[in-house]
Structure 1
Amino acid sequence: MAEKVQENEVFKTATPAAEATTHYLNELTNSRDLQEVIETQVSILKRFEKTNETLWRANSLCEVRYEAIHGDFRKHIATLVEAKNSLESIFKRIRMLKRVVKAKYPEAYAACEVVYTPPDDDEEERPASSPTD
């Protein structure tokens, strides 16, 4: 409390230079200009709040849609993995049947190979050539 009394005494006993500086600073600030600055800041704040609300709504909508799409993608991935496994199993059985037929009927298998030469199983499919090739 003693400090507050001392501060009040300091303000009461201000020097003429301090009073002149305070007066000069008060003259520099125009209350109309300050009011315009405050109004502009309030206007900008309202626009930012509206923008923030719009972005929040868009984010919420995107989150809901993402969850729905994410579930669909998981289902599609599971379907593709299942299809891949099924195809691998089918091709494995086809290769096994080809070996059995080749071992059991070598002449007929050789005759069929002359007419139709199947691609190598290890060879990857090549992309279709473009008309400019």
Structure 2
Amino acid sequence: MDPPDSASRVFCSRILSMVNADDVSAIILAQKNMLDRFEKTNEMLLNFNNLSSARLQQMNERFLHHTRTLVKMKRNLDSIFRRIRTLKGKLARQHPEAFSHIPEASLLEDEDEDPIPPSTTTTIATSEQSTGSCDTSPDTVSPSLSPGFKDLSHIRPGSPAINGRSHTDDEEILSLRAC
């Protein structure tokens, strides 16, 4: 067929002589190491995926249980408030003198009222809050907690004087102390 020194044999032998056998074995060894790592990583990811799936199932069951509990509690509270409204109505009919100072509309519309007025739930951000420069060091004491100040938050404007002095007199004294 082909003589021993044919062109194809010469070409193949020259190509094979260009490739270093040590380099080829090093590449094969590196590929085996990478294959082992990838198999271990794949196994770990499969284990993680199985564990995540099991945890998701558990959390989903807990979530459904808690959701059912909340729905049941809401139903119970609605029933309780309905009974309370019914009792209020009966008491208002039986003892109208006790309920004379309460407007009738408030007796019937208790369910529409929000237990927390919106003014107390709204927070207005000040410049200190928005920039984050508020000093929260422990040596800073608010005036309402300081020993020299009285808590006047419970006194309504126009309230009667106590011991011959109104709360506005106290405010004037406190403002003079601050100067």
TM-score tier, shorter chain, comes to: 0.5 to 0.7
Aligned counterpart for 2:78 among listed residues 61, 81, 88: 88
Specify the code of the residue in structure 1 equivalent to 2:53.
Answer: E
Q: Which residue of 1 aligns with 2:17?
A: 27
Q: Shift in Å at residue 17 of structure 1?
A: 4.2
Specify the code of the residue in structure 2 equivalent to 1:98.
Answer: K
Q: Count residues in correspondence.
A: 120
Q: Shift in Å at residue 43 of structure 1?
A: 0.4
Task: Summarize deviations over 1:7-35 as a string: whole Å, max 9, x none.
Answer: xxxxx448944334323332332221111
Identical residues among aligned pairs (%): 32
Q: Is there any run of 5+ residues in structure 2 with no aligned partner, and where?
A: 127-179
Q: Is there any run of 5+ residues in structure 1 with no aligned partner, and where?
A: 1-11
Q: Which residue of 2 aligns with 1:59?
A: 49
- Please report the RMSD computed on the Cα atoms of aligned residues, expressed in angstroms: 3.3
Distance (Å, rounded) in 1 between the aligned partners of 2:90 and 2:15: 103
Specify the code of the residue in structure 1 equivalent to 2:123.
Answer: S
Q: Shift in Å at residue 120 of structure 1?
A: 5.1
Distance (Å, rounded) in 1 between the aligned partners of 2:110 and 2:87: 16
1:99 lines up with 2:89 in the alignment: yes
Q: Shift in Å at residue 83 of structure 1?
A: 0.3
Question: Which SS does the other structure have where 2:112 is aligned?
Answer: coil
Distance (Å, rounded) in 2 between the aligned partners of 1:120 and 1:24: 98
Distance (Å, rounded) in 2 between the aligned partners of 1:53 and 1:29: 36
Q: Shift in Å at residue 80 of structure 1?
A: 0.9
Q: Which residue of 2 aligns with 1:39?
A: 29
Structure with the larger RCO, 1 or 2 (CA within 8 Å, 6+ apart): 2
Specify the code of the residue in structure 2 equivalent to 1:84.
Answer: K
Question: Which SS does the other structure have where 1:49 is aligned?
Answer: helix
101-110 vs 118-127, which moves further: 118-127
Specify the code of the residue in structure 2 equivalent to 1:129.
Answer: T
Specify the code of the residue in structure 2 equivalent to 1:64.
Answer: A
Greater helix share, 1 or 2?
1
1:130 lines up with 2:123 in the alignment: yes
Distance (Å, rounded) in 2 between the aligned partners of 1:69 and 1:75: 10
Q: Which residue of 2 aligns with 1:9?
A: none
1:70 lines up with 2:60 in the alignment: yes
Q: TM-score when scaled to structure 2?
A: 0.52
Q: TM-score when scaled to structure 1?
A: 0.65
Q: Which residue of 2 aligns with 1:18?
A: 8
